[in-house]
Structure 1
Amino acid sequence: MDFNKLAETRYSLRKFSDRAVTKDTLNRIIHAAQVAPTACNNQPQKIFVVQSADALAKLRQSTPYHFNAPVLLVVCYDRTKTWKRACDGQCSGLVDASIITTHLMLQAAELGLGTTWVGSFDPTKAAKALDLPANIVPVAILPLGYPAADAAPAAMHTSRKDLAETVTWL
């Protein structure tokens, strides 16, 4: 699929079918994260593939926005492996994890699966559910799976600001 077409048709899926996601499919999606760029190629990402009933139940307590997806991908970064900006020490972890998350979402869409970027979750509860050490910081939860037969984009999905509002040419 043409990239722009993929980007235009991908939407936040909030209604999943119960169709299982195969290990091969998950591996293809995870590979997209593996090849994603990160600051200085430090690759600080940690991705948790949550799919067992017990693990899903625990993680779902950190957010109401899980949409009962059969898989939840939790994208984190290791604060000990991020690049730090020399002028102010700013950590690249959030940016790196965001790039990783975008790659995961787009690869899933190309394979016919849907995701929703969930940033509204309790990171303390998520870390506890996953038994994360203090150096691993959760950034996003991606409910992942195949769309339900009646799934559709939200009404605002195709609404875009005019480029003149978001782009400045110098």
Structure 2
Amino acid sequence: MDFLTLAKERCSIRSYEDKPIEPEKLQAVLEAGRLAPTGVNLQEQRLLVVQSPEGIAKIAEAVVKPDAYTAKAFIIVCAEKDAAWTRKFDGHNIYEIDASIVTTYMMLAATEQGLGSLWVCRFQPDVLREAFHIPEKYIPVNILCLGYAKPDAVKPIDRYDTDRKPLEETVWYESFDA
């Protein structure tokens, strides 16, 4: 499958089948995260995979709508801020950018594996930190939900024809003055 088709097939899934994820598919998703680029290749991301019913219950306590997340696996994407690259000109630390790139790679790999995913940022970091014993040096950036999408949860591929702004509204060439 070409990349644009893969990108169009990916959609945010909020309803999952009661079917476990095969270990090799989960490994493929995690491997994609490992291969993702990070600033100066520092690889400060730390991934915590949660699949047990007890762990999933802890996830539910940390998110705003606990009944909305019925996935079979969750990846808590953390970053070690002090290990990330910082731009010397303005002191901007890119740990969240790196964690986001890692998450994006995993989300696209999940789609390729036939899995649905949902990127979640609406959670209580302190609840996650306590429930999963996340060390202080790691910052929870997002949660990636994974599982087999219920058929009615999958969005049509042609939605991008109307759901996205045209390029002329988001792309400039050479200068914003034009």
TM class by smaller structure = over 0.9
Percent of paired sites with the same residue: 38
Matches within 5 A, 1:26-65: 26-63=26-63, 64=65
Greater helix content: 2
TM-score, normalised with respect to structure 1: 0.94
* C-alpha separation in 1, matches of 2:90 and 2:126: 26
How far does the alpha carbon of each residue in 1:45-86 deviate from its partner, in whole angstroms, 9 at most, with x for none?
A: 001110011111112111126521111111110123111111
Structure label with greater radius of gyration: 2
**How many Å apart are 1:157 and its aligned residue?**
4.9
TM-aligned CA distance change 1:61 to 1:26, over 3 Å: same
1:168 match: 172
2:128 match: 126
* Alpha-carbon contact 2:37-2:101 (below 8 Å) kept: yes
> Equivalent of 1:150, from 149, 152, 156?
152
**How many Å apart are 1:150 and its aligned residue?**
2.7
* C-alpha separation in 2, matches of 1:25 and 1:152: 19
Match of 1:116, SS state, is strand
* C-alpha separation in 2, matches of 1:80 and 1:157: 40
* Alpha-carbon contact 1:59-1:130 (below 8 Å) kept: no
How far does the alpha carbon of each residue in 1:4-31 deviate from its partner, in whole angstroms, 9 at most, with x for none?
A: 0010121001110011012111111100
Match of 1:61, SS state, is helix
| Residue type at the aligned position of 2:11 | Y
* Alpha-carbon contact 1:11-1:157 (below 8 Å) kept: no
Q: Which runs of 5+ in 2 are unaligned?
A: none
TM-score, normalised with respect to structure 2: 0.90
**How many Å apart are 1:152 and its aligned residue?**
2.5
* C-alpha separation in 2, matches of 1:95 and 1:78: 12
